[in-house]
Structure 1
Amino acid sequence: MKRSGPLYTLLAGLLLALFMLSLNATTGTGSSSYGGNAPGTTPPSPTKGTPKPTGSPSASASESPSKKPPPNADYAGRTDDNTSAVSLSLRDGKAIAYFCDGHNTESWLKGDVEDDGSMRLTGKHGAKLNGQLTGKRIRGTVDIDKETWKFTAAKAVKPSGLYRATTEVRGAKLDGGWIVLADGSQVGILKRDGKPAKAPRLDPRTGTVRVDGDVVTARPVTP
């Protein structure tokens, strides 16, 4: 009877060990079924290299409004030495110009007009016109045959402006250019088969002119 005590103690120890094993199997020490971290564990650090969210574009990144070319208009005026006339027609960023002394020197020039009103026009035989539109006038220079003329051309109001006629009369090829100025005066050259001479007076109301008894029609010039 005295030996039963140790047996009870051993049996109690085995039962306690079985109970602890059963408890560990039930609760577990890993992560829960919802993917959370097990108690006492350290959460993983964020993955390196993850891009940061970008902010909305600033106002300065938006595109600036596009510039517009100078408005469509015609200009006419004289050279500073009053020996010749210059007329220009501007349309949609393009320009065509005519320089004429009314006797034997003339040149047709064309080119682009920049948004700031500057222009560099070119013509045959190296002719050049450099101009700057400021307000209602164009100030610039014309270079022809190694000569340079300074000019000022003011905004023209019809019938002032630039006119041209190209046709054939009595077997002769005609090419005429006229600059009608604000005071009603005209400067022009009419070529017959390439030979220049002072142009007869143009009627700006009808755009007609008489050449060798025939009526020739001149039209406003635009680029």
Structure 2
Amino acid sequence: MKRSGPLLTLVAGLLFALFLLALNATTGTRGASSYGEESPAAPAAPASASPPATRTAPPPSQSPSPSTGPVPDAGYAGRTDDDSASVAVSLRDGRAIAYFCDGRNKESWLKGDVKADGTMKLTGRDGAELTGTLTAGERIRGTVDVGGARHGFTADKAVKPSGLYRATATVRGAKLVGGWIVLPSGRQVGILARDGKPSAAPAIDPSTGVVTVDGRRLTARPVAP
């Protein structure tokens, strides 16, 4: 009986150990099966890219249409680009007369036609020539060639008493021819020729055109073609 006691204890221990091993094996199998049944997390859907913003080009600007109205009957006066002389142009019925004057000894009278689009080419003595363009009835821009020199000029629409004036007379046997340009500022530029010899002209009264030359009263009148 003393020998069977330890033997039974040993057998009981072995059985208990086998029971624990079987229990652990069963639990591990179930755990693995449980993890295997879990489905992997679905990957996050990529964010959709916004389409690039499109820029709408502004409509092209339209250039203003050229004026097609008739050429007005009017006067224009201004200065050359180098401020050495004055230029006046008078328009009437599609014709033009112009006067270039430096107020000392250089002058020229020019005449010609004005086209419907406002362009003009006027000619004078000794090859003098004026080319210009009337813009919107308000301004003439062009060039004038006098005495071998070319001058650019701008002449704005003149409001009386501004404009172009001329007087002719015979005083003490001498033939007098005077030309005056009254600028919008009121400044006067003129030449008085005695028997073809030019010199600075005395000022006229803008309201009446009266001027005194060698003691005689003359009247300078507005010039028209």
What TM-score does the superposition give when structure 1 sets the normalisation length? 0.69
Give the 3-state SS of the residue equivalent to 1:125 in structure 2. Answer: helix
The equivalences for 1:81-120 within 5 A come to: 81-120=82-121
Q: What one-letter code is carried by the residue in structure 2 that aligns with 1:115?
A: A
Q: Percent identity?
A: 68
- The AA in structure 2 aligned to 1:93 is G
Q: What are the equivalent positions in structure 2 for 1:1-223 lying under 5 Å apart?
A: 69-135=70-136, 136-223=138-225
Q: Is the 8 A contact 1:163 1:220 kept in 2?
A: yes
| Equivalent position of 1:47 in the other structure | none
* Structure 1: tracts of 5 or more residues without a match: 1-66
Look up the match of 2:43. none
The answer to whether the 8 A contact 1:98-1:106 is kept is: yes
Distance in 2 between residues matched to 1:125 and 1:161, nearest whole Å: 25
- Judge conservation of contact 1:69–1:113 (CA < 8 Å) in 2: no
Deviations 1:147-192 (A, max 9, x none): 0000000000000000000111121110000000011100100001
Number of equivalent positions:
157
- One-letter identity of the residue aligned with 2:222: P
State the distance in 2 between where 1:218 and 1:145 align: 26
Q: Is the 8 A contact 1:93 1:114 kept in 2?
A: yes
Equivalent AA in structure 2 for residue 120 of structure 1? K
| Structure 1 residue 69 displacement after superposition | 3.7
Report if aligned partners of 1:166, 1:174 keep a CA contact under 8 Å in 2: yes
Deviation at 1:146, TM superposition (A): 1.5
**1:69–1:92 contact (8 Å) kept in structure 2:** no
Report how far residue 74 of structure 1 moved: 0.3
- Per-residue CA deviation, residues 190-218 of structure 1 (Å, 9 max, x unaligned), is 00111100000011111110001110111
**1:59-117, Cα deviation, whole Å (9 max, x unpaired):** xxxxxxxx764011100000011110000000010000000000111000000000000
Q: What is the root-mean-square deviation in Å for CA atoms of aligned residues?
A: 0.9
Higher Rg of the two aligned structures: 2
- CA distance in 2 between partners of 1:145 and 1:222 (Å): 24
Runs of 4+ deviating beyond 6 Å: none
Q: Distance in 1 between matches of 2:218 and 2:156?
A: 28
Q: TM-score, normalised by structure 2?
A: 0.68
2:181 corresponds to which letter in structure 1? I
Instruction: Work out the CA distance in 2 between the residues paired with 1:73 and 1:184.
Output: 18
The residue that corresponds to 2:42 in the other structure is none
Q: What is the letter of the counterpart of residue 80 of structure 1?
A: D
